[in-house]
Amino acid sequence: MNILPLKKTAPVKNNLPHVLVDPLPSAPSPSPSSDLTSSQPASESDPDLVCISKGFDRGRLIVLIDGSNLFYAALQLGIEIDYAKLLQCLTLNNQLVHAFFYTGVDPSNDRQQGFLSWMRHNGYRVVTKDMIQLADGSKKANLDVEIAVDMMRLAQYCDTIVLVSGDGDFAYAVKNLLYQGVRVEVVGLRSMTSNSLIDAADCYVDLNALRGAIQRFDKLSIETNPVSTASPLTDNPML
């Protein structure tokens, strides 16, 4: 079993060390200029490669996923995410209280509705907001406020919050969670993750380190698994 080297250590918070994990033992974290689509996926046979806190009692976990941010991270990595594997990877058999998935919705998008239905039946609580059409014809829904409010509201019910996002707007909320004694772990693609968010968190892991463990390889039909329609290589079911 190969143990990932610690890239950085800092003073202990919540009795757990602050660590930054390299995406691969022999590779540096990708920079914005990196060719992410050509990166080699992490080995699925190495359990330590997907552990951001292996060996520690993380207590009660709440997972919050910024759906749009994760979609574009997967797009850059050139993979389709298996959301069942993702949840398993993030929790690592710890006590999961709730997992929340935030996304904008288009009620007329049947593909998206099928995907979100699958998510609701497979361990996720889906938080949505209707998308608005911008002047350039694109559609957008910003759920930053909902995510930040939920982080603060749910802090009393957990010991650790896992935030899947790279948005620096969450840095202030994360710092406030630390003052409340809540451990915060941030998961995001390095080239899309704000330094201020990384610095605020107890622990950061590059999504590239998890790609081999969370990538979807089979192509089941929507009748057996609606999440199969959520391919970042084709259409975005969240837009």
127 is written with which tokens? 């938080």
- What angle is formed at CA 237 by the lines to CA 233 and CA 239, rounded to 5 degrees? 105
Mean pLDDT along residues 92-101: 93
The pLDDT, as a whole number, for residue 54 is: 59
* Domain 63-229 homologous superfamily, CATH: 5'-nuclease (3.40.50.1010)
pLDDT digits 0-9 by tens, 132-162? 888 887 788 899 999 999 999 999 999 999 9
Whether 55 shows a pLDDT value over 90: the answer reads no
Kindly list the domain boundaries of the chain, sorted by start residue.
Answer: 63-229
